Amino acid sequence: MESPAPHIRPATPADEAFIRAVMPRLVEFGPPAWRDPAQLTATDVAVLLESVRAPTPQRQVLVAERHGRPLGLLHLTVLTDFYQQQHGHVADLAVAAEAEGQGIGRALLSYAESWARALGFPWLTLSVFAQNERARAVYERAGFEQDIVKYLKVL
């Protein structure tokens, strides 16, 4: 039996425990050695909670849930790139481990696309660590393509 489509709603301060629980999923793949997973997660949580407390049309957090149970989250922002092109950006997308493969991520990406289109943006971007091959495959299946590739040299 196919699972019903998730309900996507704005996050509230009551979602803090879920946000704190799901954000470590973003570093489970094993980030590069020069990145501290705990620091990455702490920064993500702080930024998300600030966006939950003070959402704007330029920054918002959404929760995907089924039967009142949160299963995924989406953090949307508006960015302006180096070439002065304003666009929608998926700052964070995380799905609870028990909800993997149930269409939660696809539903959140679809929501993000609709949001960006409604705001008249020419494109939607997201960033992913090169080492996160599973997430990259998901994004490529959803139609995302590489744009600018960032290189880093540890000093």
Q: 142-152, pLDDT tens digit by residue?
A: 999 999 888 88
Q: Tell me 17's DSSP state.
A: H
pLDDT at residue number 47? 96
Domain spans, the chain: 7-141
pLDDT at residue number 57? 83
Contact 70, 15 (CB under 8 A): yes
Query: Do strands 59-66 and 7-10 pair parallel, antiparallel, or not at all (unpaired)?
Result: antiparallel
Using only C-alpha atoms, the chain has a radius of gyration, in whole angstroms, of 15
| The dihedral formed by the CA atoms of 140, 30, 15 and 43, expressed in degrees to the nearest 10 | -110
pLDDT at residue number 4? 83
Contact 119, 87 (CB under 8 A): no
Length of the chain as a residue count:
155
Spatial separation of the C-alpha atoms in residues 83 and 90, rounded to whole Å: 19
Judged against a pLDDT cut of 60, whether residue 90 lies above it is answered with yes
Half-sphere exposure of 116 (CA within 13 A, CB side): 23
- What average pLDDT does the segment 39-60 reach? 94
What does pLDDT average to over the chain? 93
Per DSSP (E only), the strands in 86-143 are: 86-95, 124-126
Q: What is the pLDDT of residues 5-32, one digit of tens each?
A: 899 999 999 999 999 999 999 998 888 8
CATH, range 7-141: 3.40.630.30
